[in-house]
């Protein structure tokens, strides 16, 4: 038999629960001033959770304390509004979940699981511990948003050039370490200037967003799309050889060619030219992107709407 417990914890009520939980847990006559177990955990959590602003790290430290003190086997955090999800430990039979809010603002959903059913006392302790998570969680979310914003192209909702440079350097190192293939696509919209000149930059922006969305739907969840600037985009394909990269490039080319894009009800045709490369041994990040960029320009010179390897 499995059991499920659900609840919503508001920021202000959680602060009240935190203070009440500490008071209720204290014995009438503390032995030599030593804190009770719950108070000790709260004190440790209060210190630990303020040592990092990384959302993943904050949640990991919180789970480790729960695993040690409440025998929690698994924890999952979801924040669909911010497209963030992470799991720790192993999912088990008995679960309890909490929707975390603050002043009407959604901070995420937490689900905990363990092999044995949660007792009422354990649920009460768990909710008290959640109270110590809320301030660090809110701060970590704000930090996560700030970092994401700095690495995001707001128009197309893709990574920007800074994000691409960081991701490419990281993937090159992983490719070297694990001896796995790494491929790259450079994608450029054909005759994009004509769209801007004929319909205006507002419609040009809509064309960029449509192209980015169409490309996203052609990729795996592990692939990454970045906008380098103007109408030029880059796709990073980890653990992908040149044959597979060509298949992805052709899928993107066909999808954009067949895309139904309209301006004031008037259909506008759109095509792209692509360069596709796989990293050579000893090739640097800069050499890789330069080689792929040159192939994209060769595709344009050869007539556009094609992939050049």
Cite the active site residues. Answer: 231
Contact (Cβ atoms closer than 8 angstroms) between residue 107 and residue 98: no
Query: If you search the block for the tokens 């440790």, which residue do you land on?
Result: 44
CB 276 within 8 A of CB 251: no
Torsion sign (Cα): 211, 217, 223, 224? positive
State the Cα–Cα distance between residues 92 and 231, nearest whole angstrom: 48
Range 194-221 burial, b when 16+ CB lie within 10 A, else e: ebeeebeeebbebbbebbbebbeebbee
Q: Is the dihedral of CA 156, 229, 240, 308 positive or negative?
A: positive
Q: Could you tell me how far CA 119 lies from the centroid of its own chain? A: 34
The helix or strand, by DSSP H or E, that contains position 44, with its residue range, turns out to be helix 37-48
**Which pair of tokens denotes residue 82?**
């911010």
């Amino acid at each position: 038999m499995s059991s499920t417990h659900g609840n919503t914890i508001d920021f202000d009520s959680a602060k009240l629960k935190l203070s009440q939980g500490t008071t209720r847990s204290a014995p009438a006559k503390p032995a030599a001033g030593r804190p009770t177990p719950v108070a000790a955990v709260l004190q440790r959590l209060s210190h630990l959770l303020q040592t990092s602003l990384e959302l993943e790290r904050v949640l990991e430290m919180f789970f480790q304390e729960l695993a040690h003190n409440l025998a929690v086997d698994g924890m999952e955090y979801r924040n669909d509004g911010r497209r963030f999800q992470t799991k720790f430990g192993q999912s088990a039979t008995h679960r309890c979940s909490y929707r975390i809010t603050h002043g009407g603002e959604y901070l995420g959903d937490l689900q905990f699981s363990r092999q044995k059913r949660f007792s009422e006392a354990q649920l009460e302790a768990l909710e008290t511990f959640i109270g110590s998570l809320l301030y660090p969680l809110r701060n970590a979310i704000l930090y996560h948003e700030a970092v994401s914003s700095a690495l995001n192209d707001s128009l197309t909702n893709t990574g920007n050039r800074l994000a691409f440079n960081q991701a490419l350097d990281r993937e090159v190192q992983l490719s070297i370490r694990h001896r796995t293939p790494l491929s790259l696509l450079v994608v450029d919209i054909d005759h994009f200037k004509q769209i801007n000149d004929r319909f205006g930059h507002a419609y040009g922006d809509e064309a960029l967003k449509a192209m980015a969305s169409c490309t996203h739907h052609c990729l795996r969840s592990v692939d990454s799309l970045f906008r380098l600037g103007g109408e030029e985009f880059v796709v990073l394909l980890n653990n992908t050889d040149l044959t597979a990269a060509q298949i992805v490039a052709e899928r993107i080319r066909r999808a954009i060619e067949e895309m139904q894009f309209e301006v004031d009800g008037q259909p506008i045709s759109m095509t792209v030219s692509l360069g596709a490369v796989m990293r050579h041994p000893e090739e640097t990040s800069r050499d890789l992107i330069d080689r792929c960029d040159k192939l994209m320009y060769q595709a344009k010179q050869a007539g556009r709407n094609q992939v050049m390897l």
